[in-house]
Each structure stands twice: as C-alpha cells, then as structure tokens.
Homo-oligomer: A and B are copies of this chain.
Amino acid sequence: VSAEIDLITDYFRDLGVARSDVVLGIGDDAAIVRESPGCDLIMTTDSLVEGSHFLPGADPRSLGHRALVINLSDCAAMGASPCWALLSLNLPAVDHSWLQQFCAGFGALLQRSGVALIGGNLTRGPLSITVQMAGSVPAGAAVTRSGGKPGDLLCLSGSTGDAAAGRELLARPGTATADSVRSALCQRFEFPTARVALGVALRGLASACIDVSDGLWVDLERLAAASRCGAEIEHDALPLSAALQAYAPSTAMQLALCGGEDYELLFTLPQSRLAALQAHADATSTPCTVIGRLCARPGVTLRRAGSVMQFSPTTFDHFAVRN
C-alpha cells in the first residue's frame, strides 16, 4: 500500500470543514462537489515557494496559514464565499513534526473559513505549497478589477506595510525594535487575515476590487489599468499602523505603498455608496479608509495638499526583483 496515500489520509482527511455540497472528498481519483443553483464559481490558485515567499526554517504553522490566506484573499477580492480547497505539497522528506504543525495552521484557518479540503497530493521535492480554491458567488455578482470609473472613491481595508516590515524583521532577527512592535509586525506577515467577510459585503457595492498581495502601488496600477483609468492616492489619508510607524518612522510610507503580502482589499465605489460601505464595514468590524479616487488620466499618482509628489515605487515581484 502506498505511503503517499497513508500520509494524505493521516494528515489531510479531516482538516477542513464537512460541507453538504461535497459529494465525495479526499480518497478517490478526484473530488465531487455540487454547486448551488444560480451561482458562479470562482477559481484561483497560488503558491508559496521556499526562497521566494519564505526563508528556509520558516514556521510550518505560518506556512499552512499563509498558503490558505493567499487563496482566500483572491476569493475575497472577487466577492466570493470560499468553499473548497485542494493542496499540493512538495516536501524534501516526510517530517511528521513539520506536517503536524503545517496542518495545524492550515486546518485552523480552513475551519474558521468554512472551507472543505477536497483533495491533496504529496511529492518529494524542494519545499513548495500550492493551493487551489473554489468559491461561490451569485451569478453575475462577482466583483472584478475592471469596473472602476473616474471619480469613484478608492478605499483600503486595514493598513498596509506591516507584512513587509514583519518580513524584514524575520529576515534580520538582530534588528533593534521593541518586542511588542516586532511581535505585531511579524504576526501580520506570518498570520495575515484574508478579508473574506468584507469581500462578500462588497458585492453590489464596490465597482472594482483587488487584493494587495504585491504592494498597494502596483496592485492599484493593475486595478486602474483594468478599469481603463488612473488613480490618485492622498498621501495624508493613507493609514499607517502604530507598529509600522514605531518600527520605521522614515520609511513607513514607502513600506505602506510598496510592501507586499498584506492581503488587504483595495476597492473602488461611487461616493453615493459610501454610507452603505460604512455600515458594512461596521457590521464586519473591518476598518476601511478612503485613500483617494480614480481619475481619467492613466497612471497612479501620490498627492499631498493638492500637489503631485514625486514617488518611485519599488515593487515586490518574484521574477522582476531577482532575475
């Protein structure tokens, strides 16, 4: 009998939520699921690769959490409710302690998110983790990147830059920082929150949405380009966490604009829907800030007191940065 099968059975079978729309889960050639009538299906995949997304020796519980968050966040950005996940794990060797911790992080977030794990496979190889996720949204109600209009308000959930600061602190453990600041920022990198409830609330409210995975600036460029318009960020409106300001008073703004892996939602909506957004944000306990607006002129600009500031973004891109 196959060791791979035993591993999958032991570690993966009971990790997720039991959902009534799963006809057949892990253990056959494929899973069988049954979508609700009148719904569209949202499908996405994203990976964590050692050396690109995390350093050797990274906490496996954090990797399990993050491998799921990157996909939950894609679902959230579409306004979808996450339903089912599949996991492909490349492991250098069978390390039961590593697997237990990985599954603890992965499973806890599956449970909190109401997601069933319906398939998985394990292969010997350099450590990398790929998750595929399917979510559900009422037919036609998905929020895309392309629906923004000039004049729409530009909104951001939470704040950005913390995850990049946490990544720096993990890579350079000797950096002098107060323990509470270090712990808050590392938490944002290692255990980020996907804005799933907010994403669902944005159906019919947001004109466009993207999740901030590669950095606020570059992700805003993508949203604006997809919506065939430009965008202006108000420098003084950008939320900065207290921890980020304590860690890096001089570069906090740079980190907030260009640091990746925050998994906040960046979205647009007409001014007339701002009150409805505020009600939803309150109901889901999600801080949301208006940070600027879309404009007709292409490109992204940073403004302060009515003037355009010079700003040169350095983005977070696995191929561009390291090639």
Residues of A within 8 A of B (CB): 1-5, 7, 23-24, 27-35, 37, 40-47, 49-53, 73-75, 77-78, 80, 84, 86-88, 90, 93-94, 118-126, 128, 130, 132, 134-135, 137, 139, 142, 144-146, 209-211, 214, 218, 221-222, 226, 315, 317-320, 322-323
Contact = CB atoms under 8 A, between A and B. Distances in A.
Contact of A119 (B4, B45, B119): B45
Contacts of A46: 88, 121
Contact of A45 (B86, B137, B226): B86
B124 A90 contact: no
A49 B132 contact: no
Contact of A318 (B35, B80, B124, B145): B124
B52 A40 contact: no
Given A5-B222, A29-B145, A47-B88, 16 more contacts: A3-B320, A4-B318, A4-B319, A24-B144, A27-B226, A28-B145, A31-B42, A32-B78, A34-B139, A35-B35, A43-B118, A45-B120, A49-B90, A52-B123, A122-B318, A130-B130
A30 B125 contact: no
A27 B77 CA distance: 13
A313 to B, nearest CB: 10
B32 A94 contact: no
Query: Which 4 pairs across A and B sit closest by C-beta, in order of nearness?
Result: A30-B44, A49-B125, A3-B320, A29-B77
B43 A125 contact: no
A162 B87 CA distance: 30
A52 B125 contact: yes
A28 B137 CA distance: 15
Nearest to A21: B41
B32 A142 contact: yes
A47 B218 contact: no
A137 B124 CA distance: 32
Given A31-B42, A40-B33, A88-B130, A2 B320 contact: yes
A167 to B, nearest CB: 16
Contacts of A126: 125-126, 128
A51 to B, nearest CB: 6
Contacts of A218: 1-2
Given A4-B320, A43-B119, A318-B4, A28 B90 contact: no
Contacts of A145: 28-29
8 contacts: A23-B142, A28-B78, A28-B144, A32-B41, A32-B42, A43-B132, A53-B123, A126-B128
Contact of A132 (B1, B2, B45): B45
